[in-house]
């Protein structure tokens, strides 16, 4: 492999950065728009024309936000600022030994798992852990791509906790749910939001197992 690496001049073919766009050329080959690393080029975007394109997907390693990366580099302390994908069991162990404050940034499923672990440890071991969850964006009002796909605002934390509990081995407490009744309620909300629309619900009542409203109720398996 090393011999082939040198034969084709692989190092001279590699361009580091984030690929923004790849388009096939009419005459063959490709155009690639690349954002180079900070300070590596005089412009924010570079366009390449090539016969072939091999795009390496994902990050070559863990990536921190710029301010967190600066903190690490300045204080040389990788134990206090950690990425959720890094080993961070020491954080939970330290909170058991003495009270502390944990700041979680982000709102994906990984953040919800970390949040759930902290809450479970605090409840189970009666710890005095203070948890601050910071979101880049937080929607307090109803939101969604259309009136038929609206979500109530202000429930993001509750939804994340529910996902974490279910993913962690808890099962939903099911009860009979009338799908037609849910459709009727959605239609009523749509009429209030857009009075000019005509919304009609058809079909017979159909009952299935589910959770009717609110956050899913969970119980241990």
On whether residue 31 sits in a domain, the answer given is yes
On whether residue 209 sits in a domain, the answer given is yes
pLDDT tens by residue, 127-175: 999 988 887 655 555 656 665 555 555 555 666 666 666 655 666 677 8
On whether residue 58 sits in a domain, the answer given is no
On whether residue 56 sits in a domain, the answer given is no
Burial 117-137, CB ≥16 within 10 A → b, else e: bbbebbeeeebebeeebeeee
d(CA 166, CA 191): 34
- Residues 8, 44, single domain; the answer is yes
- Residues 70, 153, single domain; the answer is yes
- Residues 116, 74, single domain; the answer is yes
| Tokens found for residue 63 | 């990536």
pLDDT tens by residue, 58-94: 555 677 888 888 888 888 888 889 888 888 999 999 9
- Residues 189, 163, single domain; the answer is no
Closest CA to 63 of 88, 85, 37: 85
DSSP code string of 121-160 = HHHHHT---EEEEE-SS---S-B-SSTTS-B-SS-HHHHH
For residue 221, is pLDDT > 50?
Answer: no
pTM of the model: 0.45
On whether residue 59 sits in a domain, the answer given is no
- Residues 71, 162, single domain; the answer is yes
How far CA 71 is from CA of 39, 86, 152, 160, in Å, comes to: 20, 17, 36, 28
- Residues 46, 93, single domain; the answer is no
List 220's β-bridge partners, or say none.
Answer: 170
Q: Name the more confident of 219 and 39.
A: 39
On whether residue 109 sits in a domain, the answer given is yes
- Residues 84, 129, single domain; the answer is yes
For residue 150, what pLDDT is reported? 57
- Residues 72, 145, single domain; the answer is yes
For residue 11, is pLDDT > 50?
Answer: yes
Q: Name the more confident of 122 and 112.
A: 122
Domain that holds residue 84: 66-167
On whether residue 141 sits in a domain, the answer given is yes
Q: How many CA atoms lie within 13 A of 13 on its CB side?
A: 13
For residue 9, is pLDDT > 80?
Answer: yes
For residue 215, what pLDDT is reported? 45
Split into its structural domains, the chain has a count of 3
- Residues 127, 77, single domain; the answer is yes
- Residues 121, 212, single domain; the answer is no
For residue 15, is pLDDT > 70?
Answer: yes
Which range has the worst mean pLDDT, 21-35, 43-57, 147-161?
147-161
- Residues 142, 91, single domain; the answer is yes
For residue 219, is pLDDT > 80?
Answer: no
On whether residue 211 sits in a domain, the answer given is yes
- Percent of the chain clearing pLDDT 70 (strictly above): 76
- Residues 148, 201, single domain; the answer is no
Q: Is 19 helix (H, G, I), strand (E, B) or coil?
A: strand
């Amino acid at each position: 492999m090393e011999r082939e690496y040198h034969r084709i001049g692989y190092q001279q073919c590699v361009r580091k950065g984030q690929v923004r766009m790849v388009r096939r050329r009419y005459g063959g080959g490709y155009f690639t728009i690349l954002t180079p690393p900070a300070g590596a080029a005089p412009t924010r975007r570079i366009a390449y024309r090539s016969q072939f394109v091999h795009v390496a997907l994902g990050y070559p390693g863990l990536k921190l936000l710029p301010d967190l990366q600066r903190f690490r580099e300045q204080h040389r302390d990788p134990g206090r600022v950690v990425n959720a994908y890094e080993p961070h069991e020491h954080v939970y162990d330290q909170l058991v030994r003495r009270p502390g404050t944990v700041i979680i940034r982000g709102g994906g499923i990984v953040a919800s798992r970390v949040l759930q672990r902290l809450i479970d440890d605090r409840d189970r071991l009666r710890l005095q852990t203070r948890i601050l969850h910071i979101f880049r964006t937080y929607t307090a009002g109803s939101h969604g791509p259309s009136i038929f796909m609206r979500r109530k605002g202000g429930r993001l934390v509750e939804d994340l906790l529910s996902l974490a509990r279910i993913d962690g081995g808890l099962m939903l407490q099911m009860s009979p749910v009338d799908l037609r009744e849910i459709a009727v309620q959605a239609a009523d909300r749509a009429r209030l939001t857009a009075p000019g629309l005509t919304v009609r619900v058809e079909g017979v009542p159909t009952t299935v197992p589910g959770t009717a409203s609110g956050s899913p109720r969970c119980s241990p398996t």
